[in-house]
Each structure stands twice: as structure tokens, then as C-alpha cells.
């Protein structure tokens, strides 16, 4: 049977493995962000930059490449791109990390549980459950990273549109205004600035503006950027004023942000109900009723 000591050791081992996997993926994400920033600033040498990091990254790349035969699905590539992993080897490293964590879970839980002499069915269940949990750990890390990037882009997009509208209104071309806003927004959001710089780099390489912006919308997965791309495409197609379109879009973005802030404020009253009931009301009850109760107990009434 599983003793408390063995169960505690298993949980500690699982926590260590999860922390190691999270640290490994965080390091890979940091290297990918630095790579994207250098690409955006056009000081990136393809032949000199390792896409898979150090020795562990290369080993995971080889493991994932053997498992997928060098063909990663489009859905995985889109998820990794939305999470900020733009490298060509990101898919293979992702699959390799999942397989490595699964094998590590099988080995670790097997070494911990098999010598304990528990029943075969229980041991097999715990080993498979723990290994499967480790297998899906990269999915959780990628999902958290993707949501964090999207939230940051949504937070800074209205201000960026305001800056873009001001630059275009002052007489700058849209491409030059886009580049200027990308440089200014880097002070508050490097993620959004990198995406704008990559879009500007695509346009400098000859990609049409609407296609480059569609690529940016696909990379980030933010619906607001897709709306901005559709607005700019319609303005170019019908010959409408880009300044008026940007001004209208910026106004709608500000209104939407105000509505979301109001919704969050309305939810706050419901969220405050639980700490009030659990913590504040009992303290008030003790303060108000406590002295009277002590006085009644001293007089023998209670």
C-alpha cells in the first residue's frame, strides 16, 4: 500500500520535475523573445544564431524530429507562434519536451512506486497518471504564455492606435508611422513592439501591407488586430481616409476598454462578497458580541 512517506516523496518528485520542465520552457521562451527582437531590429545573422538553445535544446530537437519525422502539424505551429515561439525548430522542441517529460515521469514514478510493493493496478495507475500529467505540462505552459501575450497586446493596442492616428494625421505615411509607433511602444511593451517590427520587416522585404498585417494577426491571435487589418484593407480598397478610419477605430477601442472596465467593476462587488462573509463579518461579530458575551459569562448568565 502507499504509505504517507511514499506519497509525500512522490509528490515532491513530481514537483521537482514540474519545476524543472517549467524552468526549461521559460529559458527557451526567453531565448525566442531575444531572437525575435534581434530579427525585428534587423541585426540577426541566421547562420550564427542557434535556434534550439544549448545542448538540452538540441537533444529535445532531435527527439521531437524523430517522433514527428520533421513534420509538425499546423495547429501546433500556430499555438507556438501565438505564444511567442517563432523558431522553425520550435515544434520539434515542443514535441521533444513532451516526450522527454513523459519518459522521465515513467522512470521517476516507476523507481518510486515499484519498490514499495503496492498492488499492480494501483502502481500502474499512479505511474500512468503522473506521466500523462507531465506529458501535458508543456501544453499548459504554452497556453499560459499565449494568454499572457494576448492580454499584453490587447492592453497596449488602443494607445498604439492613438499614436498611429496622430502620426498619420501629422502627414507621415502609414508605413513610416507604423515604424515610429513600434519604436515608441517598445518602452512599455517589448512583445507588441517586436510583432510590429516583424510586420514592418515583412513589408520592407516586399510583402504587401495587408498580407503582413494578416500575418501579425495570425501570430498574435488577437481579434482586435484582425479588426484593424480588416479596417485598413477596406480603407485601401475603397479609397477612404485612413486618418478617419484610425480615429474611429481608436474611439471604438477606448469605448470598448471603458466597457470592459465597467464590467470588471461590477464583478468586483460579487468577488468581494466571499472575503466579507469569511473574514470581515466574523471579526465584526466577535468585536460586537464578544464583550457582551464575556460580561454575561462573568455574571453566570451563560
Q: How far apart are CA 62 and CA 56, in angstroms?
A: 10
Residue 101 has pLDDT above 50, yes or no: yes
Q: How far apart are CA 285 and CA 302, in angstroms?
A: 18
Alpha-carbon dihedral 128, 133, 135, 139, rounded to 10 degrees: 160
- Mean pLDDT of all residues in 124-131: 86
Residue 40 has pLDDT above 60, yes or no: no
Q: How far apart are CA 253 and CA 165, in angstroms?
A: 13
pTM: 0.64
- Mean pLDDT of all residues in 245-255: 82
Burial profile 113-123: b = 16 or more Cβ within 10 angstroms, e = fewer: beebebeeeeb
Whether the CB-CB separation of 124 and 212 falls below 8 Å is answered with no
Angle CA(188)–CA(39)–CA(98) in degrees, nearest 5? 90
Q: How far apart are CA 68 and CA 64, in angstroms?
A: 6
What percentage of the chain reaches a pLDDT higher than 90?
0
Residue 1 has pLDDT above 60, yes or no: no
Kind plus residue range of the DSSP H or E element containing 161: helix 137-169
Q: What is the 3-state secondary structure (H, E, C) of 94-137?
A: HHHHHHHHHHHHHHHHHHHHHHHCCCHHHHHHHHHHHHHHHHCH
pLDDT digit string, tens, across residues 21-34: 666 666 666 665 56
> Which of 258, 250, 231 shows the shortest CA–CA distance to 169?
250
Q: How far apart are CA 79 and CA 136, in angstroms?
A: 14
Indicate the pLDDT class of residue 124, thresholds 50, 70 and 90.
confident
Which pLDDT score is estimated for 41?
A: 45
* C-alpha count within 13 angstroms, C-beta hemisphere, residue 266: 6
Angle CA(256)–CA(262)–CA(265) in degrees, nearest 5? 145
Cα(first)–Cα(last) distance of the chain, in Å?
Answer: 50
- Mean pLDDT of all residues in 191-207: 85
Q: Where do the domains of the chain lie?
A: 4-135, 153-255
> Which of 128, 147, 140 shows the shortest CA–CA distance to 221?
147
Amino acid at each position: 500500500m502507499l504509505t504517507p512517506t511514499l506519497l509525500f516523496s512522490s509528490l515532491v518528485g513530481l514537483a521537482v520535475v514540474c519545476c524543472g520542465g517549467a524552468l526549461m520552457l521559460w529559458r527557451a521562451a526567453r531565448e525566442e523573445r531575444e531572437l525575435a527582437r534581434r530579427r525585428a531590429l534587423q541585426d540577426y545573422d541566421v547562420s550564427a544564431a542557434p535556434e534550439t538553445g544549448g545542448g538540452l535544446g538540441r537533444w529535445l530537437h532531435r527527439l521531437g524530429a524523430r517522433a514527428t519525422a520533421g513534420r509538425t502539424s499546423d495547429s501546433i505551429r500556430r499555438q507556438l507562434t501565438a505564444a511567442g515561439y517563432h523558431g522553425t525548430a520550435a515544434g520539434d522542441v515542443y514535441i521533444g519536451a513532451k516526450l522527454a517529460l513523459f519518459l522521465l515521469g515513467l522512470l521517476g514514478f516507476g523507481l518510486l512506486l515499484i519498490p514499495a510493493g503496492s498492488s499492480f493496478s494501483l502502481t500502474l495507475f499512479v505511474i500512468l497518471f503522473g506521466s500523462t500529467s507531465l506529458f501535458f505540462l508543456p501544453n499548459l505552459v504554452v497556453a499560459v504564455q499565449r494568454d499572457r501575450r494576448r492580454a499584453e497586446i490587447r492592453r497596449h493596442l488602443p494607445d498604439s492606435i492613438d499614436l498611429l492616428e496622430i502620426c498619420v494625421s501629422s502627414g507621415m505615411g502609414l508605413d513610416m508611422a507604423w515604424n515610429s509607433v513600434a519604436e515608441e511602444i517598445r518602452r512599455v511593451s517589448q512583445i507588441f513592439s517586436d510583432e510590429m517590427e516583424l510586420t514592418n520587416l515583412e513589408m520592407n522585404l516586399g510583402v504587401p501591407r495587408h498580407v503582413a498585417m494578416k500575418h501579425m494577426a495570425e501570430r498574435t491571435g488577437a481579434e482586435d488586430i484582425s479588426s484593424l487589418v480588416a479596417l485598413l484593407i477596406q480603407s485601401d480598397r475603397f479609397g477612404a481616409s485612413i486618418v478617419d478610419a484610425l480615429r474611429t477605430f481608436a474611439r471604438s477601442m477606448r469605448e470598448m476598454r471603458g466597457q470592459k472596465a465597467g464590467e470588471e467593476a461590477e464583478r468586483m462587488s460579487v468577488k468581494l462578497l466571499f472575503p466579507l462573509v469569511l473574514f470581515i463579518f466574523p471579526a465584526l461579530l466577535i468585536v460586537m458580541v464578544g464583550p457582551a458575551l464575556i460580561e454575561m459569562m462573568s455574571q453566570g448568565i451563560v
